[in-house]
Amino acid sequence: MTSHLQFSMKHFAALKSKYKATDYQNLSLSSLLYLILRKADLGMNINEIEWNWLLDNQLLETITTIEKEQEDKAQAICQLDREFDLLKVKYNVTHKVNNNYTPICSILWKLDSEHEITDSEVDFLRKNSLNYVADQSLQIKEFKQLRIKYKADQFDGCLPDHSPLYSILKKLEDEADLNEKDIEFIQQQKMLYISAIVDQKQAIKQAEFVQLKEKYKATKYLDLSIFSPLYQILKTLDYNQKLSSSDIKWLEDNKLNETLSIVLEIEQKEQFNELKIKYKAISCQDSLLSSHLYKVLKKIDSNIKIVDQDINFLKKRQLMDTIAVTIEKYADHLKSTIKTGAELSQADIDWLQQNGREDIIVFAIKKYADHLKSTIKIGEELSQDDIDWLQQNGREDIIVFAQEKHFVNLKSKYDVSDYRDKLVSSRLYPILQKLEKGNRLEEIEVAWLIENNLFYHSDYGNNSFYNISNRTDSNKRSRIFITYHTIEATFYEQEYQQTGNQWKLPNASSHWRKAKKPQRALKLTENINFNAIKENKLKSALLTTRGGAFRDIDQLDKAETSARKAIEYQPNSHHPYT
């Protein structure tokens, strides 16, 4: 019998014993039982034919044993899966892992049990996009080494993220400052070796704190704790770093005025040095804050125009580059203010001319001219000051533009936009300007309007001024006609008020009627004491115009009454009959 055959026979016998099948007498290795038991031992699935064969051969105990073993293995696998899942949670593995039997889980198991993995295993994690776990492994390794160095082995097994000790040991290793919570933790955990190190470091820092308080005049603050805000503030100062606004406020709140004075002096010296660099004055050896150079540089930086005395001061010190930078900076500042809508003062203009920066003056002229043009476009008119400025600066084109725009607006307002002559040199433009300002027209101007069919409505053609005087169809009166008569009526009213000449009243009343304001005409003549008037002709004229005004508002009874009274005073006049 060969050795292989002997081994197989022994193997079969062992399997029969293991799976409770010793009652089966067939010892042939070709038996189906041997196949079934071998598959069961290897953890392979038993198929339906094989289960039925076991039943047919009354091997019930064997069936129970195999089923129990399979169940135990399944439970063991589930338990192992749970343990792997816990490891993935513990080490924050959010990256999807297809199954729990990859090298990743083995590395996690090793990391958790031995707190250290090899460099090749770290590389494997990184290649599988598990950089966080790789970094954790390095931290765990470092934490282990630090615990050994600082004799803190009682924290063996703690992850760096789960223990404040890691950050404390890191601070010690990096010579960084511990905070009060760190010290409290060390004392609570009775870490004598670390406490001794910390005490030594604190003693050094306290000595340093005392020296800093002396140096920066803060001895009146009695607290010597290195956790005092003052210690950090003074260290910041000593490192030549700028204090924050909260640091300054703390010094103010604690009335450390001498320290604040030192801080201010330091800041001013730093500013002085920065200004010398910025404005190319580093060749000057002046470093005192009382130096005139410091004052000049601050003026330059604040966009304050430096005077001739300052320029001469810079020239004497051969700071020609500083002068050039100053001129450029102030010119840029003026240009910026011009962009915001500000105007140049005469002093600024003189300065620009003296320093060869006429380009800024040209820019300012263009900017303000453009501004005026934009205001014209939205309907505003130029003031006389604006007109004078434009003429002085050679921008008559804006004046012409304003006049053209104004002419267009006036023609639109007075309903004569169709008038053929568009030029501001037209005779119509000054006439419309006079009407707009409320000034009286000359007879020759009225005649010109009539001649050009601009005085009356077009329906009346070239009818004379007098032919329309008593027309009742006021809707056909032009805007020019109405405005003209409004101005005339106002003029005669004022004449009456100034002179008391009652002959001005019929004229004013007549013009108010033509201006489509008969009520104003009636108001003007309603309180006249006819008994005090001696001239019948004047009485008749006043009553005639009142009658016409009543007729304009369709109060015909009153119109007739006024006309009859007028006839009584002047029977031979035809005017009351019209």
Q: What is the CATH number of the domain that holds 549?
A: 1.25.40
d(CA 68, CA 398): 107
| Highest mean pLDDT out of 52-66, 81-95, 253-267 | 52-66
Residue 78 in any domain: the answer is yes
Helix locations, 91-191, DSSP H: 103-114, 119-127, 131-149, 164-173, 180-188
Token pair 């295993």 in the structure block, residue: 121
Token pair 């749970």 in the structure block, residue: 82
Per DSSP, the three-state class of 33 is helix
Residue 160 has pLDDT above 80, yes or no: no
Residue 520 in any domain: the answer is yes
d(CA 389, CA 150): 85
pLDDT at 57: 93
The per-residue pLDDT for range 553-576, each reduced to its tens digit, is 888 888 888 888 888 887 766 455
pLDDT at 127: 85
**Exposed/middle/buried for residue 19 (C-beta within 10 Å: 0-12, 13-18, 19+):** buried
Residue 435 in any domain: the answer is no
For the chain, count helices (H), then strands (E).
27, 0
Helix (H) or strand (E) holding 401: helix 396-413
pLDDT (average), residues 70-74:
91
**Exposed/middle/buried for residue 3 (C-beta within 10 Å: 0-12, 13-18, 19+):** exposed
d(CA 218, CA 207): 14
pLDDT at 467: 43
| Highest mean pLDDT out of 275-284, 400-409, 491-500, 555-564 | 491-500
d(CA 178, CA 197): 12
* Nearest in space to 429 (alpha carbons), one of 444, 443, 440, 414: 414
CA end-to-end distance (rounded Å), the chain: 162
Domain span at residue 554 reads 479-577
* Nearest in space to 406 (alpha carbons), one of 385, 427, 378: 378
Structure tokens at 470: 């008593």
Least confident range of 36-40, 53-57, 152-156, 347-351: 152-156
Specify the pTM: 0.45
d(CA 131, CA 239): 37
d(CA 122, CA 107): 9
Residue 461 has pLDDT above 50, yes or no: no
Residue 500 in any domain: the answer is yes
pLDDT at 136: 77
Domain end (from 68, 90, 112) = 90
Residue 404 in any domain: the answer is no
Return all residues near 129 (Cβ < 8 A) that are at least 6 apart: 95
Q: Classify the phi-psi angles of 441: left when phi > 0, otherwise alpha if psi is within -120 to 50, otherwise beta.
A: beta
pLDDT (average), residues 277-287:
80
Structure tokens at 8: 């197989």
The per-residue pLDDT for range 396-427, each reduced to its tens digit, is 889 888 888 888 889 999 999 888 888 888 99
Check if the beta carbon of residue 171 is closer than 8 Å to that of residue 197.
no
Q: 117 versus 459: which is more confidently predicted?
A: 117
The per-residue pLDDT for range 84-102, each reduced to its tens digit, is 888 888 777 876 666 666 7
pLDDT at 155: 66
Residue 4 has pLDDT above 50, yes or no: yes
Residue 523 in any domain: the answer is yes
Per-residue pLDDT band for 46 (boundaries 50, 70, 90) equals: very high
The per-residue pLDDT for range 7-33, each reduced to its tens digit, is 989 999 999 999 999 988 888 888 999
pLDDT at 471: 43
Q: How far is CA 285 from CA 265, 282, 288, 290, 318, in A?
A: 18, 7, 9, 13, 12
d(CA 316, CA 325): 16
d(CA 150, CA 192): 10
- What's the residue count for the chain? 578
Check if the beta carbon of residue 90 is closer than 8 Å to that of residue 111.
no
Structure tokens at 548: 């016409």
d(CA 118, CA 141): 10
Q: 385 versus 485: which is more confidently predicted?
A: 485
Return all residues near 557 (Cβ < 8 A) that are at least 6 apart: none
pLDDT at 328: 85
Domain end (from 90, 115, 147) = 90
pLDDT (average), residues 243-253:
91
DSSP 534-556: --HHHHHHHHHHHHHHHHHTT-H
* Nearest in space to 248 (alpha carbons), one of 235, 263, 226: 263
Residue 559 in any domain: the answer is yes
Least confident range of 152-156, 244-248, 430-434, 445-449: 152-156
* Nearest in space to 286 (alpha carbons), one of 270, 265, 272: 272
Q: At what angle do helices 308-316 and 320-339 cross, to 10 degrees?
A: 150
Q: 470 versus 169: which is more confidently predicted?
A: 169
The per-residue pLDDT for range 186-239, each reduced to its tens digit, is 888 888 888 788 878 878 888 888 898 888 888 888 887 888 888 889 899 888
Per-residue pLDDT band for 518 (boundaries 50, 70, 90) equals: very high
d(CA 480, CA 419): 13
pLDDT at 575: 54
Q: 288 versus 501: which is more confidently predicted?
A: 501
pLDDT at 567: 85
Residue 490 in any domain: the answer is yes
Average pLDDT, the chain: 84
**Exposed/middle/buried for residue 335 (C-beta within 10 Å: 0-12, 13-18, 19+):** middle
pLDDT at 469: 44
Domain end (from 90, 120, 143) = 90
Check if the beta carbon of residue 297 is closer than 8 Å to that of residue 276.
yes
Cα atoms in the Cβ-side hemisphere of radius 13 Å centred on 298:
12
Residue 549 has pLDDT above 60, yes or no: yes
Domain count, the chain: 2
pLDDT (average), residues 419-445:
91
pLDDT-above-70 percentage for the chain:
92
